[in-house]
A and B are shown apart, each in its own frame.
Chain A
Amino acid sequence: MEVLAFLIPIALFLGGLGLGAFFWALKTRQFDDPEGDSRRILTDDWDDRPKP
């Protein structure tokens, strides 16, 4: 059971990383246009070369 002393902090840390990533995404306004982002993936405008 001693392994729990490692596993629980590791689980919390990894979860915390995910939470941090979400905060970052929120701060950088990646949820401003969920509708549009889900559609943009379908356009082939910049398939051949990256957007300048």
Chain B
Amino acid sequence: MTAAFPARPSACPACAVAPSAEALAETSAPREARLFLSLPTIHCAGCISAVERALHATPGVRAARVNLTLKRVAVEADPEVMADDLVRVLEGIGYEAHELDAGVIAATATDKAGRDLLMRIAVSGFAMMNVMLLSVAVWSGATDFTRDMFHWISAMIALPTIAFAAQPFFRNALSVLKHARLNMDVPISLAIILAAGMSLYETAQHGPHAYFDAALSLTFFLLAGRYLDHRTRAVARSAAEELAALEVPRALRLRADGTEETVPIAEIAPGDRVRVKPGARVPVDGVVAEGQSEIDRSLLTGESLPAFAGPGMALSAGEVNLTGPLVVTVTAAGEDSSLNRMADLVAVAESSKNRYTSLADRAARIYAPGVHLLALAAFLGWLWISGGDMRLAINIAVAVLIITCPCALGLAVPAVTTAASGRLFKRGMLIKDGTALERLAEIDTVVFDKTGTLTLGTPEPTNLGDHARRDLEIALALAEGSAHPLARALADAARKAGVHPVPLTDIREVPGHGVEGVLGGKIVRFGRPAWVGAEAGDQTAAWLRVGDARPVAFTFADRLRPGAEEAVARLRAQGLAVRLVSGDTPAPVADLAARLGIEDWTAEALPGEKAALVQALGEAGAKVLMVGDGLNDTAALAAAHASVSPATALDAARVASDIVLLGSDLAPLGEAVTTARKATRRIHENFAVSALYNLIAVPIALLGFATPLAAALAMSASSITVSLNALRLR
């Protein structure tokens, strides 16, 4: 069969992301009774009850609970219930589902760091409210003994709270100072410690002003910002780990006596013989020893036409075996395999991305030294003015530190990124990297890969109408005798068109070639052109020959990914240059480019050339967004300014990209850029807001007019403004 098809081991796009689902089902018989499925498309109460009801109705399922925040469902079932069955049940009611590795999920489910932060927030919130209550009494005029008593009670609440709740800041500040650098945590820690220390001293001296409430609200607001930041990352990380958990590296090794055993890839050595079943990914580099089949190399090269594989042919790890079982003699495994060598390319390109400084870091770099200098100037200035009044000078310097508190600054970025990633997550996009949004906002060029990215990698017949009814009936009868993706696509389409198969006898599949049968004494064949006796064209096609008649071609095109047209149109409407770069042959690439209206396309690009193209664009001043799924795209993904890969992409590609599209729909891509741009604008606005507050408050503090009340007002007002501004994104 001439097949053009980046085969996925299974027909459904959801399972395509989970080649290991099959591998697991095959290799490890009944294991845990607890299964996890990822459900990228659920979004409402109706979805929750539909999913839970469907799962409860499945025999063997004991309990099922959906977690909408993480978009996954935990199922408790009898050991014989397989995740594949549940995936099929859910797909039956219209929900995309992928199986997840229970072991990995269990590790990420207990979010200890998040809970720890929440605990600290709760404690500081409790203390803040109580101290604020006491402070109100002081502000409204309590004097002498009452004031001192209230200050002492405040101190009793505040000091232990700060010692416990503000630890994350102290720890970060210490570790940064050890490396002789500054970050936002240094002014934060300093402000908190000085505010508490100065207030304690003032209380002991019966002074009028104590800043315990300021120290506590500073802690509370900043912890809230920290928690938002953490949650965004944790959700992204656990989901990213989920995706990684989908590929379990295992291989079927043949023992000397010909029996099979399942072993981790790490244990495979060159010289071993490995069996590769149809539909499975080749786990190692090797040479075919036995068997004939077709090999899909699209993930490595982007080529959409499968190649014939017979004894003596070299295979690379990552290719997919399509039709017949193969026995492969291993030449390289693990770190030496081509799969891993490709990953090295990624590591090199990766470093360029790490050089990007986030907006928050840039702000901190200006802010931290500025604040410290200002406080120092206030201290020295007042020391000189007052003629050596240490207490007054320290009081004013601390007031400056508190008033310029980076409260709003600490919330400015996390509040926005949380809102933005939440919005994108709802649309099925996973932001993996903290600075991804900022980088995405800057892009001006989008480079797409073809196979598996703009197309689904599922073929569809294009010329059914050109054939005689009789030919269609024969082709259908033959196609139903094979599990080859092209055959299946043809069978589906023909059935849908109302064609019925003619009865054939002696149907047999010839792996790597096609299917043949006998019709009224004549041999009919459906498959590769050479085998059928036809000239191969440059289009993806399977050929049918009835007896001695001239062979006819059934042509196929790769099915467009849903939303691809919309995404390209939206990106172009935003004024972005869109390019198509593929490792495939020119004909299908040109065809697709014309369909999507992309003028700038390149075909037959090698992996290195893709990366070089992206790099060249970058050097010419363009900020490139790379969208790709294959191993041949990984270097380009890593070299680009920002990168996106679909969930069906190879593990290495997903690791290299900043954003993962969880659903099979490409349409959210257009919105992602808009959202990213809005988010960056909000971050800038937030910086402006906090700068404005400082502009008003700092002179007041410098002149020595700052009171705890003023500090509390400035802090709360700026933090709330910043958070509300961020919420406008939703």
Q: Which residues of A contact B (CB under 8 A)?
A: 1, 4, 8, 11-12, 15-16, 18-19, 22-23, 26, 31-36, 39-43, 45
Contacts and interface: CB of A to CB of B under 8 A. Distances in A.
Contacts of A19: 122-123, 126
Given A18-B126, A19-B126, A23-B119, A35 B69 contact: yes
17 contacts: A4-B149, A8-B134, A8-B153, A11-B130, A15-B129, A23-B122, A26-B119, A33-B67, A33-B68, A35-B68, A35-B69, A36-B66, A39-B68, A42-B45, A43-B46, A43-B48, A45-B53
Contacts of A15: 126, 129-130
B180 interface: no
Given A1-B146, A11-B133, A19-B126, A36 B119 contact: no
A18 B269 CA distance: 61
A26 B46 CA distance: 27
Contacts of B730: none
Contacts of A4: 146, 149
B391 interface: no
A41 B68 CA distance: 13
A31 B234 CA distance: 14
Interface in B34-70: 44-46, 48-49, 53, 66-70
Given A15-B129, A23-B119, A39 B69 contact: no
Contacts of B118: 26, 31
Interface in B85-126: 115, 118-119, 122-123, 126
Interface residues of B, number: 25
Interface in B1-45: 44-45
Taking chain B's interface residues, is the majority helix, strand, or loop, or is none over half, making it mixed? helix
Contacts of A18: 126
A31 B146 CA distance: 40
Contacts of A1: 146
Contacts of A32: 67, 69
Given A11-B133, A43-B49, A22 B122 contact: yes
Interface of B: 44-46, 48-49, 53, 66-70, 115, 118-119, 122-123, 126, 129-130, 133-134, 146, 149, 153, 157
A50 to B, nearest CB: 15
A40 B48 contact: yes
Contacts of A31: 118
Nearest to B156: A12
A3 B70 CA distance: 50
Given A12-B130, A15-B126, A18-B126, A39 B153 contact: no
A13 to B, nearest CB: 11
A16 B126 contact: yes
B165 to A, nearest CB: 12
A22 B121 CA distance: 11
Interface centre among B45, B53, B70 (most CB of A within 10 A): B45
A39 B44 contact: yes
A12 B129 CA distance: 10
Nearest to A1: B146
B69 A34 contact: yes
A43 B46 CA distance: 7
A46 to B, nearest CB: 10
B426 to A, nearest CB: 9
A45 B49 contact: yes
A40 to B, nearest CB: 6
B129 to A, nearest CB: 7
Contacts of B67: 32-33, 36
A16 B115 CA distance: 19
Nearest to A9: B153
B126 A26 contact: no
B135 to A, nearest CB: 13
A34 B111 CA distance: 14
A22 B643 CA distance: 40
Nearest to B122: A22
Contact of B45 (A16, A22, A33, A39): A39
Contacts of A36: 48, 66-69
Given A35-B69, A36-B69, 14 more contacts: A1-B146, A8-B134, A8-B153, A22-B122, A23-B119, A33-B67, A33-B69, A33-B70, A39-B45, A41-B45, A43-B45, A43-B46, A45-B49, A45-B53
A15 B132 CA distance: 13
B448 to A, nearest CB: 32
A16 B245 CA distance: 42
A15 B125 CA distance: 10
A40 B42 CA distance: 13
B51 to A, nearest CB: 11
Q: Closest 8 interchain pairs by CB?
A: A36-B68, A39-B45, A35-B69, A42-B45, A33-B67, A35-B68, A19-B126, A43-B49
A17 to B, nearest CB: 10
A22 B130 CA distance: 16
Nearest to B145: A1
A34 B153 CA distance: 35
Given A22-B122, A31-B118, A40 B130 contact: no
A42 B44 CA distance: 9
A38 to B, nearest CB: 9
A8 B123 CA distance: 18
A45 to B, nearest CB: 5
A1 B137 CA distance: 13
A50 B86 CA distance: 26
B48 A39 contact: yes
B230 to A, nearest CB: 13
Contacts of B69: 32-36
A26 B130 CA distance: 21
A2 to B, nearest CB: 12
A21 to B, nearest CB: 10
Most buried by A among B68, B115, B133, B134: B68
A41 B45 CA distance: 8
A33 B457 CA distance: 35
Nearest to A21: B122
A28 to B, nearest CB: 11
Contacts of B45: 39-43
A22 B221 CA distance: 18
Nearest to A22: B122
A16 B130 CA distance: 10
Nearest to B115: A26
A7 B590 CA distance: 80
Contacts of A8: 134, 153
Contacts of A45: 49, 53
A18 B125 CA distance: 11
Contacts of A22: 122
A27 B48 CA distance: 24
A47 to B, nearest CB: 11
A34 B123 CA distance: 20
Nearest to B53: A45
B314 to A, nearest CB: 49
Contacts of A40: 45, 48
